[in-house]
Amino acid sequence: MFQEHYYSTARASNPQSFRAEKVNPDQAGLSRACFFRLAEDSPKPLSVTEGEMRERKGVFVTVGTTSFDKLVAAVDSEPVKAALFRRGFSHLQIQIGRGTYIPSKVSGEDGELEVDYFTFSPTIADHLTAASLVISHAGSGSIFETLRLGKPLVVVVNEDLMDNHQAELAEELADRKHLFFARGPHLLAQTIESMDLESLVPYTPGNPKNIADQIDAFFGFSSPGEGSDQKGGEGEGASVSKISKLFSFLFR
């Protein structure tokens, strides 16, 4: 009996995708010579350490609607790309906004980190959903949209901003273990190397209804449905609080 062997075959539809097959030459009806000739003609045996079975894990970088060239340049640097590759990420998508720094595109065909970029998109929701890791500026919109999707997040503070209140928000959320925090692009590679994804605590959005109810009570608004007549008409207390709607919109 021959020992079972593993070999890899590339899928014709996607040369970057490989599958492992377990072959017993006796069961397959292969002769000894035929089997070893097949093994010689096939790609070399799978080796995870050589990246042949690297899972497709994407990183999405966003700077929002403004520019953050130092962040884009940092992500495009060899130390950061090497850190991402060592952590098992396969491709990098960078949203550069209004910035002037243009990162280098890399096809990834040679087994290195694939890199692409764009300026703006009508929505970044699809990019966030597809990402295995998000690197973002400290804008509250980008932060909370990412956290609501349950994505691991690294927030990088723009130290050039005069009134950087956003840094306080990011630092507080980092203290609560909801995200990772880099106080400047120069610390990004170090943050990626040291981050422990298992340590993150899922973010649970607060319920704005309690606040809205308190404001409703203060201004004398009644709860929706109170005071309506039996025909479904709108009585004095039947109107839905606009404040409740506003809070629900802002904190959804």
More confident position, 162 or 89: 89
Same domain, 102 and 188: yes
Total domains, the chain: 3
Same domain, 115 and 154: yes
Confidence of residue 250 (pLDDT cuts 50, 70, 90): low
Whether the pLDDT of residue 113 is over 80: the answer is yes
Whether the pLDDT of residue 247 is over 90: the answer is no
More confident position, 180 or 160: 180
Same domain, 156 and 120: yes
pLDDT digits (tens, 9 = 90+) for 222-242: 554 444 444 444 444 444 455
* Spatial contact of 73 and 185, defined as CB atoms under 8 Å apart: yes
pLDDT digits (tens, 9 = 90+) for 7-47: 333 333 333 433 333 444 444 444 444 433 333 333 333 33
**What mean pLDDT is predicted for residues 168-196?**
96
The Cβ of residue 60 has, within 10 Å, a number of other Cβ atoms equal to: 23
Of 134, 165, 131, the C-alpha closest to 62 is 134
Segments forming the whole domain that contains residue 46: 5-50
Supply the pTM of this predicted model: 0.65
Same domain, 31 and 139: no
Same domain, 122 and 152: yes
At 60, which helix (H) or strand (E)? strand 58-62
Same domain, 221 and 146: no
Can you give the pLDDT at residue 137? 96
pLDDT digits (tens, 9 = 90+) for 45-90: 333 344 444 578 999 999 999 999 999 999 999 999 999 999 999 9
The Cβ of residue 71 has, within 10 Å, a number of other Cβ atoms equal to: 28
Of 244, 250, 251, the C-alpha closest to 223 is 244
Q: Please report whether residue 9 resides in a domain.
A: yes
More confident position, 206 or 6: 206
Q: Which of 6-20, 159-173, 175-189 has the lowest mean pLDDT?
A: 6-20
Average pLDDT, the chain: 76
Residues near 143 by beta carbon (within 8 Å), at least 6 away in sequence: 136, 153, 155, 169, 170, 173, 179
Of 100, 103, 102, 57, the C-alpha closest to 76 is 103
**What mean pLDDT is predicted for residues 96-125?**
94
Same domain, 73 and 194: yes
Same domain, 221 and 239: yes
Same domain, 80 and 157: yes
Q: Please report whether residue 204 resides in a domain.
A: no
Q: Please report whether residue 13 resides in a domain.
A: yes
